[in-house]
Amino acid sequence: MHFALRAVIAEPDRMLAKRGLTRVHHRILFFVARTPGLSVGELQTTLDVTKQAMNVPLKQLQAQGLIELLKADRDARVRELHLTATGAALESTLTGEQLRLFSEAFQAAGSDARRGWFAVMDGLAKRL
């Protein structure tokens, strides 16, 4: 499991490091890409982190022009997260590299192994 994780994160980690970013930034980009308009509070809940833990990475992503916080139409006190075009491109590149590795592994392992892997991941995720 350790070596598989290292393989999946190695190239994205290198790409992030060139920008002075880390995996926490990738996680933020990943969830905002899949849920545009996610509030900061909703993201904190999703990632199970404190407001303080989110503050610095969000500011760094904003400073690099990768993410923006906009006032929600429904409530001006709520700030919604959105990726910029640059942020969306970076997230797509980072996650795309990981998906490519999974695709290659699934091709080599076969469809039964793929179904089994998804069943295992689903079972683990349900424990949260």
Domains of the chain: 2-125 (1.10.10.10)
Token couple for 50: 């404190």
Per-residue confidence (pLDDT) for residue 49, from 0 to 100? 95
CA atoms within 13 A on the CB side of 98: 19
| pTM, to two decimals | 0.92
| CA 26/CA 38 separation, integer angstroms | 15
Give yes or no for residue 8 having a pLDDT over 90.
Answer: yes
Q: How far are the Cα atoms of 3, 42, 85, 97, 115 from residue 21, in angstroms, in the given order?
A: 22, 22, 18, 17, 34
| CA 84/CA 65 separation, integer angstroms | 7
Token couple for 77: 């006190």
Percent with pLDDT over 70 in the chain: 100
Span 65-86, pLDDT tens digits = 999 999 988 888 899 999 999 9
